[in-house]
Structure 1
Amino acid sequence: MHTFFQNRRDAGHKLANALLHHRGRQTAFIVLGLPRGGMPVAAEVARTLGAPLDALVVRKLGMPGHNEYAMGALASGAVLVLDNRLIAAAGVKREAIEAVQVAEQDELLRREQCYRPGRPPLDLSGQEAILVDDGLATGATMQAAVLAARQAGAAFITVAVPVGSVQACARMEELADKVVCLHQPPDFQAVSIWYESFPQTSDEEVASILAHAQ
């Protein structure tokens, strides 16, 4: 097993090279990073393509007692995605789901205020939205992001990630208009193992990226 990327910036640079056909296009498009980890990747994509950059805030709904496993996700615009098959198999009760949902909704609102203070909700009417994350594991958060972008009026949605599981990328093919995934390793395991350096992205870093973009 070997890593594909030095860090998120390197991943963004390589991902941008796969999207160069967008540069100089006359039709409107915007790059939307999924905070937190997707923002450094998205920033490099937007810079290379000469595109506007913004954030589409999403939150994973972690399985009670096993938070690393996503049983669903929330996104801006009151979008909720639940993996009902997983929830049923794990026997998660409705009360537990609602408790996680309330907590993550509070965190989503906090991040909206932190990253996009005083700014109106995203209006993507007539635009192509390029949704960027640092990788796809289950795909739950990206699924919520795609639904949120549709709700905001996006005319065309491209999901763009450096690495993803085969299953998650296949799911995105069903939901998005186009999917760009540089690597789909059969032994995926986790996003982090395909990066040499994969530190947690901070709120301050996300806010700084967006402030610079504005």
Structure 2
Amino acid sequence: MRRRHEYRDRREAGTQLGELLRSHEWRDPLVLGLARGGVVVGRAVAEVLDAPLDVAVARKIGAPGQPEFGIGAVTPDGPAYYDDYSLHALGLRPDQLADACEAERAEARRRVAVYQRGRPPRSREGRDVLVVDDGLATGVTARAALRALRRDRPHSLVFAAPVCAPDASAALKGDADEVLCLLAPHGFRSVGQWYADFRQTQDDEVIELLEAP
């Protein structure tokens, strides 16, 4: 039996998120799916809003020996973002993570090249830019993406997701003009727990979604 707040898959979650976002008035909106899973959610949101879809890429920098524990993130260009609290708790300095940072930056650049396929990114200047992901856990990749996108001078910068950890959602408000979450459950443990189907999104699927009319 499905839990009361469980999504069948990313597309269902995106459709529901799009209905929430449709209640707002947007200025020339652009949906940016945060690769990879956020692109699936973003496609559904873009369809509900009748808005164009593009991709944003940020890569998590994991703690040494704990790659799933994100202590920072990096985009293809610009400075890396590190969570000061996590660095202090683990006794780490950014320079100790330089190799991991550059490896993730290289992967971010690879993904942009694969996804864009020679196509220039859609203009963000003067538009309401909606950064969409399948969920918000630590928030490090979302924060890195938002800080990089702010340089593109959007009219507003919004983060939206079907499910968010409450603490991460509150912390992200310093980097987004608005943070919109369908669910922010106190029992949050992971994004995947709120999906019946949370299989990994592949590059081919991202490309197909971005190229769909």
Q: TM-score range by the shorter chain?
A: over 0.9
> Which residue of the partner structure matches residue 161 of structure 2?
161
Structure 1 residues 29 and 94, CA gap change in structure 2 (3 angstroms): closer
> Which residue of the partner structure matches residue 15 of structure 1?
17
> Which residue of the partner structure matches residue 100 of structure 2?
100
2:67 is aligned with 1:67:
yes
Shift of 1:145: 1.3
> Which residue of the partner structure matches residue 182 of structure 2?
182
Q: Is the 8 A contact 1:5 1:195 kept in 2?
A: yes
2:47 is aligned with 1:47:
yes
> Which residue of the partner structure matches residue 129 of structure 1?
129
2:149 is aligned with 1:142:
no
Which AA in structure 2 matches 1:145?
A: A
> Which residue of the partner structure matches residue 112 of structure 1?
112
Deviates more, 1:70-79 or 1:156-165: 70-79
Shift of 1:79: 4.1
Q: Secondary structure at the match of 1:88?
A: helix
Shift of 1:174: 2.4
Q: Partners of 2:122 and 2:97 in 1: how far apart?
A: 27
Structure 1 residues 160 and 197, CA gap change in structure 2 (3 angstroms): same
Q: Partners of 2:19 and 2:79 in 1: how far apart?
A: 31
> Which residue of the partner structure matches residue 29 of structure 1?
29
> Which residue of the partner structure matches residue 201 of structure 2?
201
Give structure 1 stretches of 5+ with no counterpart. none
Aligned length: 211
Q: Is the 8 A contact 1:79 1:147 kept in 2?
A: no
Residue deviations 1:92-118 (CA, integer Å, cap 9, x gap): 354541011011011001101100122
Q: Partners of 1:104 and 1:77 in 2: how far apart?
A: 11
Residue deviations 1:80-133 (CA, integer Å, cap 9, x gap): 211122112112354541011011011001101100122335531101100000
Residue deviations 1:48-89 (CA, integer Å, cap 9, x gap): 110000001111111111011111111243242111221121
Which AA in structure 1 matches 2:186?
A: P
Q: Partners of 2:94 and 2:53 in 1: how far apart?
A: 37
Give structure 2 stretches of 5+ with no counterpart. none
Structure 1 residues 102 and 211, CA gap change in structure 2 (3 angstroms): same
TM-score (normalised: structure 2)? 0.93
Which AA in structure 2 matches 1:132?
A: V
Identity value in percent? 38
TM-score (normalised: structure 1)? 0.93
Q: Is the 8 A contact 2:58 2:74 kept in 1?
A: yes
Which AA in structure 2 matches 1:123?
A: S
Which AA in structure 1 matches 2:11?
A: R
Which AA in structure 1 matches 2:176?
A: A
Q: Partners of 1:32 and 1:79 in 2: how far apart?
A: 20
Q: Secondary structure at the match of 1:119?
A: coil
Which AA in structure 1 matches 2:39?
A: M
Q: Partners of 1:16 and 1:153 in 2: how far apart?
A: 24
